Amino acid sequence: MVSKGGRVMGLQNNAKKWVRISIVIMLIGIAMIIAGIVIDDYNFYWMIFVGAILFVTFLICFFMFISQAKRLDGMFRGIDLLAHWGFEENERLQKAEEELVQRKSQNKVMLLIIAAFFIVIGGLFAVFGFDDIEDAMFFILLMLGILALISLVALLAPGARYRKMKQAVPEVFVGPYSAWVMGEYVQWKAPMTRITSVQFTKDREDNYTITVNFFIWQRYGPQPHTCRIPVPKGAETEAEIVASDIANINNVQFMNEIG
């Protein structure tokens, strides 16, 4: 079921929101750099360093999201589109619940890794990076605050995604390099991103899923990600072809676990 017409009403281009967010964080980075220069104190030079990281990181993100927004607009118009599927209400709720369970499990593992990183790196920096105990305590509190914020996001994000899937247009757009799944846009061909494999699977309840596995390179190394694309009833044969096409186009391994 491939879309042939124009744009479907009710669809949102998620990447445009992240373009605006990138601009805001770049401005925050610039403000931190200026503040560090104006204060001109050794113990506040970290503001310049952190501000520069924020600015450079989200400058890169800005151009990435601009590219994503254009690609997603094209998919909504039927350009570079491998499949366009719609779901019945009961299917939509079932897929949302499956995604909730998967994301909760993945986020718990990710949170443990990030917490360990913050504790080790933050502890070393606090011990050896400051001469004044008060400045070290301020840094530790700042790091704990950032970790608490990340933890809050990691714990709340699965529920937010679940509610979004329940409210979003019950449709899926699949392209060779990205997919829009009930309100969420995922791209596996982008700067600092590398696709590794594509899986076509079926669970015990005969629910079929296309899973695209990829890495995103971040400051602390390559981070594994997955894009789970649900398959509606009756589209299993087409989905198997689509999964194979994604793997062939990206020149990666295709794992058909159905038989």
Give pLDDT, residue 3.
Answer: 40
- Give the pLDDT of residue 1: 40
Q: pLDDT for 167-186, tens place per residue?
A: 667 889 999 999 988 878 88
**pLDDT number for residue 69:** 85
pLDDT the model gives residue 255:
94
Which tokens hold the place of 251? 């020149």
Low-confidence ranges of the chain (pLDDT < 50): 1-9
Name, in order, each residue with C-beta under 8 angstroms of 154's C-beta and a sequence gap of 6 or more.
107, 108, 110, 111, 114
* This model's pTM is above 0.75: no
Write out pLDDT tens, residues 127-162.
Answer: 766 666 776 777 777 777 777 777 777 776 666 666
Task: Check: CB of residue 244 under 8 Å from CB of residue 229.
Answer: no
pLDDT of residue 177: 93
Per-residue model confidence (pLDDT) at position 186: 87
